[in-house]
């Protein structure tokens, strides 16, 4: 399988290493210095695209991939206000698209544990729920996309929480996410339920980018010959 890498920073290089290990080739590498190569012709010469860029470029990158008719996986964060537009373009082009806030196999299992725990805690009003996420200092967005996914899962199950916020507010209806930026820190996420008598806490800690890279490659392997909009839960068989 020939892969187009849209975004060739640390994550792109990690994806390249895993893809090569799994017998794939890299047909196109796009970064800030090679934007002239980001053409429909070059995209069409590849089988799939993996897009890991930033919040200001992701939407246009993804629309370009949809227009080129190439199955596309994206892990960019901070652009989701445009998600409906990208999904619609995918449908119009009869394409295939998968977005995930986190491609790690462990994190996607963690998502399922988080949903189950939130469901169990939904009526336990003596427990206050809060979250912490820790990433490296080069991460541009806060809270992380993974933290937002976790928070939205809690909000769906715990009716006493109405919205998430990225700082303490004192409002009992707010789900507080504390973001910390420290080096080195590939990513740690925790969800804690605290009461006067005990705490219940779940934590996922990434040790490297390799887990995220492997998940992204598994995702393009999954969607290559399919049409539609997919999730990592489908890729991993845990939906």
Q: Catalytic residue numbers?
A: 135, 139
The span from the CA of 18 to the CA of 120, in Å, is 37
Contact predicate 136/221, CB 8 Å:
no
Half-sphere exposure in the Cβ direction for 163 (13 Å, CA): 6
63: closest CA among 40, 86, 84?
86
231 Cα distance to chain centroid? 10
Contact predicate 169/130, CB 8 Å:
no
The span from the CA of 48 to the CA of 68, in Å, is 10
């Amino acid at each position: 399988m020939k892969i187009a890498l849209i975004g060739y920073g640390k994550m792109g290089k990690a994806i390249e290493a895993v893809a090569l290990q799994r017998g794939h080739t890299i047909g196109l590498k796009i970064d800030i210095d090679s934007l002239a190569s980001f053409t429909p012709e070059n995209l069409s010469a590849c089988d799939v695209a993996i897009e890991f860029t930033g919040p200001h470029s992701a939407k246009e990158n993804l629309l370009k991939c949809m227009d080129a008719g190439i199955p596309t996986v994206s892990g960019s964060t901070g652009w989701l206000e445009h998600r409906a537009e990208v999904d619609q373009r995918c449908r119009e082009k009869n394409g295939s698209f998968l977005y995930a806030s986190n491609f790690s196999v462990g994190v996607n299992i963690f998502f399922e544990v988080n949903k189950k725990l939130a469901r169990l805690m939904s009526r336990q009003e003596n427990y206050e729920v809060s979250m912490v996420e820790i990433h490296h200092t080069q991460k541009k967005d806060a809270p992380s996309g993974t933290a937002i996914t976790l928070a939205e899962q809690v909000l769906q199950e715990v009716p006493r929480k109405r919205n998430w916020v990225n700082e303490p507010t004192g409002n009992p209806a707010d789900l507080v996410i504390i973001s910390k930026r420290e080096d080195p820190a590939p990513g740690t996420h925790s969800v804690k339920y605290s009461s006067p008598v005990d705490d219940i806490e779940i934590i996922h800690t990434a040790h490297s980018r390799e887990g995220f890279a492997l998940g992204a490659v598994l995702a393009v392997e999954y969607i290559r010959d399919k049409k539609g909009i997919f999730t990592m839960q489908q890729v991993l068989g845990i939906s």
